[in-house]
Amino acid sequence: MCMVLGASVGRELGSGLQGPVIWPEDGGYDAARGVFNGMIDRYPLAVIRPLDAADVVRSIQFARRHGLSISVRGGGHSVAGHAVRDGAIMLDLSGMKAVVVDPETRTVRAEAGLTLGEFDRATQPFGLATTLGVVSVTGIAGLTLGGGLGWLNGRYGLACDNLISADVVTADGQLLTATPRENEDLFWGIRGGGGNFGVVTSFEYQLHPVDLVLAGAMSYPLSVAPRVLRFYNDFVKAAPDELSTAVSLARTPSGEPMLSIAVCYCGPIEDGEQLLYPLRTFQSPVDGGIQPLPYTALQSALDARFPSGRLHYWKSGWLRDLTDGAIETLLQYLPLMPSAASSVGLQQLHGVASRIAPSATAFPHRAEQYDFLILSQWSEAIDSDRNIEWTSALFQAMQPHLEKSVYVNNLGDEGPGRVKAAYGQNYPRLAALKRTLDPDNLFHANQNIDPSRI
């Protein structure tokens, strides 16, 4: 029971809810407050695990009545750790995982506590999928609300581009349905504006026929990396929408710096074989290969590289072109990377995702480009300083090559300037929407549009 609020207030909260309330003195509290990034060690007032939208409404009404702060957890993967906040009510949606697929209309209604893997497991028996991210334990909620970049983005757009509707509990405790025709502004804002406007309890997505994909990764030693990256950069720019790619610069288990190129072709396998022939043959890889794979195998292929609980520090920005200067900088810093678990990634935003108008959804970064991301991760706190220093130094050195903008879902706690850069040209409309829907900034544990500072 709650020491801070008093027993009767704690009882008031618990008695109205279907889902459990976990207080600091309860057994599961430490596990419940934990998030993916082990750097985050915060102590919420209580963790509420709603089981339905009514629980979310009650929790928000309760927080308002008692002047409490709220944070919202979908899959807990935000590296900034905004899902948990000291002294706040943590609304943990992991108890809400209902998912209903309609194979006729190729749509799915998915509750906000699902992970990508759970979502794919529900849709793949019907040979259907939509764009999500590339690590299966990430939450669909945070990912979709920020944009959602994954292997299918070239052909089908981002996760947020595939939203048909969403149920959202707003700051005044109302449950609204947002669609292109109903609460249109809210529907616009949740497709890239993050958790600023309410708690999404469920999403409805458009699905697409996706079964076997032609996918895999090829690895090369650093000695040939400049040549490979130049070829890759030209090749992928001319590639059809069906092909999405990513680059990773990392270390092998034996410690050697290595370049990998990963691909996913989601059209007919024979067409993909032909398309990828030049990429596969112009320089022999030392490891890896490309083959027809079940989509779910691709979606979990990177999971082992991102175990929960490691310490993470990320820096990111959009990269329009892999110029010689950018390649040189990357290759200069890579051998100095302090942690063998870290990597530098370039995730390609391509095709359909790049051609949608920047103002059509709140996600503004519509161009053929790479999501450049320094993913530093390590295990011991004693190593934090040198990992953070290396990450910051590489990020600084990359500045001349990067756009000033950044993908909101990669952002740490980097200040209001970077938040504005993440929302880009859509910031003024997002700010107006925030003033209307959440003037008191109840939903501030996010990449926040603060109505008092607009």
Ligand X SMILES: Cc1cc2nc3c(=O)[nH]c(=O)nc-3n(C[C@H](O)[C@H](O)[C@H](O)COP(=O)(O)OP(=O)(O)OC[C@H]3O[C@@H](n4cnc5c(N)ncnc54)[C@H](O)[C@@H]3O)c2cc1C
Residues that bind ligand X (CB under 6 A): 35-36, 72-79, 82-83, 93, 112, 133-135, 138-139, 141-143, 145-150, 194-195, 199-200, 306, 409, 445-446
- φ, ψ for residue 277 (rounded to 5)? -50, -50
**Residue 313 CB, nearest approach to ligand X (Å):** 12
Whole-Å CA distances, 283 to 11, 229, 279, 327 = 66, 11, 8, 17
Q: Could you tell me the smallest distance in angstroms from the CB atom of residue 221 to ligand X? A: 26
Closest to ligand X by CB, 86 or 234 = 86
| Distances, alpha carbon 418 to alpha carbons 76, 89, 144, 406, 448, in Å | 22, 26, 20, 8, 11
Residue 35 or 128 having the CB closest to ligand X: 35
In sign, the C-alpha dihedral spanning 340, 412, 315, 259 is positive
**Start-end of H helices in 217-263:** 225-237
CB of 332 to ligand X, least distance (A): 26
Nearer to ligand X, 205 or 306 (CB): 306
Nearer to ligand X, 227 or 305 (CB): 305
Q: Kindly state the smallest distance separating residue 32's Cβ from ligand X, in Å.
A: 13
Judged by beta carbon, residue 141 or residue 421, the one nearer ligand X is 141
Cβ count within 10 A of residue 280: 16
Counting Cβ atoms within 10 Å, is residue 206 exposed (0-12), middle (13-18) or buried (19+)?
A: middle
Q: How far is the CB of 333 from ligand X (least distance, A)?
A: 21
Burial class (CB in 10 A: 0-12, 13-18, 19+), 240: middle
Between 167 and 242, name the residue whose CB sits nearer to ligand X.
167
d(CA 165, CA 329) in angstroms, rounded, equals: 43
Beta carbons of 84 and 73 less than 8 angstroms apart: yes
CB 115, CB 97: distance < 8 Å? no
State the minimum distance, in angstroms, from the CB of residue 109 to ligand X.
Answer: 14
Q: Which helix (H) or strand (E) holds 373?
A: strand 369-378
Cβ of residue 147: shortest distance to ligand X, in angstroms? 6
How do strand 70-73 and strand 89-92 relate by DSSP bridges? Answer: parallel
Residues whose CB is less than 8 angstroms from the CB of residue 427 and which lie 6 or more positions away in sequence, other chains included = 420, 449
d(C-alpha 452, C-alpha 189), whole Å: 19
In the Cβ-directed half-sphere of 107, how many Cα atoms lie within 13 Å?
9
Of 143 and 210, which has the nearer Cβ to ligand X?
143
Q: Which is nearer to ligand X, 159 or 329 (CB)?
A: 159
Report the residue closest to ligand X, judged by CB.
Answer: 142
Residues in the chain, overall count: 454
The smaller minimum CB distance to ligand X, of residues 409 and 441, is found at 409
Q: CB of residue 371 vs ligand X: minimum separation in angstroms?
A: 8
Residue 83 vs 229, nearer CB to ligand X:
83
Q: Which is nearer to ligand X, 200 or 449 (CB)?
A: 200
Phi, psi (5° rounding) for residue 88? -100, 165
In contact, 294 and 21? CB cutoff 8 Å: no
d(CA 320, CA 200): 32
β-partners of residue 251 are 257
Least distance CB 308 / ligand X (angstroms): 9
Shortest separation between residue 78's beta carbon and ligand X, angstroms: 3
Please give the span between the terminal C-alpha atoms of the chain, in angstroms, as a whole number.
Answer: 39
CB of 47 to ligand X, least distance (A): 13
> What gap in Å lies between CA 423 and CA 418, rounded to an integer?
9
